[in-house]
Amino acid sequence: MIRLNVFVKVSEKDRETVIAAARKLVAASLGDEGCIAYDIFESSTRRDVLMICETWRDETALAAHQKAAHFVELVPQIQELAEMKTESFVF
């Protein structure tokens, strides 16, 4: 399995727009083949930090997700408004 922790740093003015896009991404991604878990979390101590946590069955499923229409549309929208950093773990 593959776990991605995507840290999103966003300004207060763009926060709600980014959260809305991330929620759409989560909802669509949960239907992707090989998606085990996909969620967004808000920091309880910093309003400028969010985390998208994803778990995938394997590299094939993750690669297909990264080509999906919802990913190709929504991730650039988030990247335009926020700074993203990804940690990846294989287990």
64 near 33, Cβ under 8 Å? yes
pLDDT in tens, 16-43: 999 999 999 999 999 999 999 999 999 9
Q: pLDDT at position 48, please? A: 97
CB within 8 Å of 54: residues ≥ 6 apart: 3, 4, 6, 29, 35, 37, 38
Kindly report the pTM of this predicted structure: 0.94
38 class by beta-carbon count within 10 Å (0-12 exposed, 13-18 middle, 19+ buried) = buried
Q: What is the pLDDT of residue 3?
A: 98
pLDDT digits (tens, 9 = 90+) for 51-73: 999 999 999 999 999 999 999 99
Q: Quick check: 10 and 48 in contact, CB under 8 A?
A: yes
Structure-token match 């085990």, residue found: 36
